[in-house]
Amino acid sequence: MTTPHHLDDYLAALAASDPSRVPWAPGAVTTENNVRLPIGDGAWQTVTDVDRLDVRIDDGRGAAVMGILREGDDWNPFFQRILADDTGRIVESELVVTRGKDAAGAFHNADIASRPEFAAAVAAEDRADRAELIALVDGYFSTLQQNTGEIHTRFSEECRRRENGVWTTQNTDPNVPPTLRMDCRSSFELGFFRSNERVRGRRYPIVDVETGLVLAGAFIDHSGRIKEYTLTDGQHMRSGFLRPHTYAMLEAFKIVRSEIVAIEAVFHPVPYRMEAAWPTVDGDGRTGDA
């Protein structure tokens, strides 16, 4: 059983760059950006501090948090997931961290404001069961994949999405592209994400019915063959992905009254069609659907 206490202790050890403070189980698996690493490698060697935010998920089986991993002057958004066994030893550790100097996009020193909506209680009558929570998130991924304008999930009008610390819906900055100022549903109805050819390797390692929170993992593949496309309103678009490209991600969803009300994602480029390091729902973490 994994508790918030286990997660806090793990993050304290990470901030101190001291993996010996973690009670690792024999055969523990650790990954960083979907690459399996020896215990103590990767960010453990470069971290100088960890800022923890209130995007936290804990369903008793696993726990995760979104925060900022500091490496010197660099502030890098991350998701950390852990799984402990019945004795409190860490069996799994999954880190997805996006480093602005390595990733495409203006994600360096990103917006790190807290999101209290993730911690808000959900009344019993407003909760969905585990199967529905997963179905709504899976429907979100199906909407994102080969986005044609069809919606396969449900959004609240207040839904906001932040990716790698950048608001990608309802962004109030007048200098961002118009699609980033739209609500969650509208940009999907336009078919703006048409070049997302596959959202595969889907998995749902943490689902908390009481708080309406789901942590999901997936890959987004872009082959580069979709260079231009037309939105549902007739606008012509040029894809930003002109070469084979894949993102690996962890993404958190808050669901109330069977509607997605908040989304928080951290993703990082990985080799095209990279094989999943963790078991997936679709059973094919390498290729997904053709």
Amino acid at site 30: T
How would you write the pLDDT of the chain (290 residues) with one tens digit per residue?
788 889 999 999 999 999 999 999 999 999 999 999 999 999 999 999 998 777 899 999 899 999 999 999 888 999 999 999 999 999 999 999 998 777 655 444 455 778 899 999 999 999 999 999 999 999 999 999 999 999 999 999 999 999 998 899 999 888 888 888 999 999 999 999 999 999 999 999 999 999 999 999 999 999 999 999 999 999 999 998 999 999 999 999 999 999 999 999 999 999 999 999 999 986 444 334 43
Q: Measuring CA to CA, which residue among 39, 26, 17 is closest to residue 87?
A: 26
Which numeric CATH code is attached to 122-270?
3.10.450.50
What phi and psi values does residue 205 have, to the nearest 5 degrees?
A: -70, -25
At 205, is the secondary structure helix, strand, or coil?
Answer: strand
Alpha helical stretches, state H, the chain: 4-15, 130-144, 184-190
At 64, is the secondary structure helix, strand, or coil?
Answer: strand
What phi and psi values does residue 68 have, to the nearest 5 degrees?
A: -120, 125
Fold of 4-97: Nuclear Transport Factor 2; Chain: A, (3.10.450)
What pairing do the DSSP bridges indicate for beta strands 74-84 and 90-97? Answer: antiparallel
The reply to whether 4-97 and 122-270 are identical in fold is yes
Looking at the DSSP bridge assignments, the partners of residue 167 are: 162
Domain positions in the chain = 4-97, 122-270
Instruction: Write out the H or E segment, with its range, that includes residue 40.
Output: none
**Dihedral angle at the C-alpha atoms of 106, 188, 192, 214, nearest 10 degrees?**
40
Please report, for residues 35, 178, 198, 219, 281, the alpha-carbon distance to residue 134 in angstroms, rounded to integers and kept in the order given: 25, 30, 18, 17, 11
